[in-house]
Amino acid sequence: MEIVVRPVMKTDWIAVSKIYAEGIATGLATFETIVPNWDIWDEKHIKNCRIVAEAEKTVVGYAVLSPVSKRKVYKGVAEVSVYVSELYRGKGFGEILLKRLITESETQGYWTLQASIFSENLASINLHKKCGFRSVGVREKIGMLNGKWYDNHFLERRSKLI
């Protein structure tokens, strides 16, 4: 199967939003409960660090960065999000996307990537550790979803190049 990784285009929005909706449905990928429209999603994510993976000309996953702060001192720090379609999970697409996003982030001057992952989402925690992230700690009861408090593992990756 040929895998193509490329920048997200606006024409990918239908596929990206469907994959995001699948992540929301798991209850372990995000505290968000609705898929935003393109304009809101586009504004939230860093434009030069967002990619999709295609298999057989179908978008099967995406990875993006979001700024963690508007303060100048944190301009090289970003939060990672990786989502893979439920039909393609467990097949290496998350690793392909995250490794490429790391490379892209370093070419754009990002020195630290961070991820906040539901403690129950062991697959995502393990993926990030496999790609060089380290656990910084657990943020207890950091957010509530559907009336239940959740802990998040907080992970970060410091670039060795920057």
pLDDT in tens, the chain (162 residues): 789 999 999 999 999 999 999 999 999 999 999 999 999 999 999 999 999 999 999 999 999 999 999 999 999 999 999 999 999 999 999 999 999 999 999 999 999 999 999 999 999 999 999 999 999 999 999 999 999 999 999 999 999 999
| CATH number (domain holding residue 106) | 3.40.630.30
Q: What was the pLDDT predicted at 49?
A: 97
Give the chain's count of helices (H) and strands (E): 4, 7
Which amino acid would we find at residue 140? E
* pLDDT of 1: 77
Number of domains, the chain: 1
Q: Looking at residue 75, what is its pLDDT?
A: 96
Domain carrying residue 7: 3-158
Structure tokens at 115: 């991820």
Res 80: pLDDT: 98
In terms of C-beta distances under 8 Å and separation of at least 24 residues, what long-range contacts does 129-134 make, across chains too?
Answer: 129/155, 130/95, 131/95, 131/98, 131/99, 131/102, 131/157, 132/102, 132/157, 133/157
What is the reported pTM? 0.96
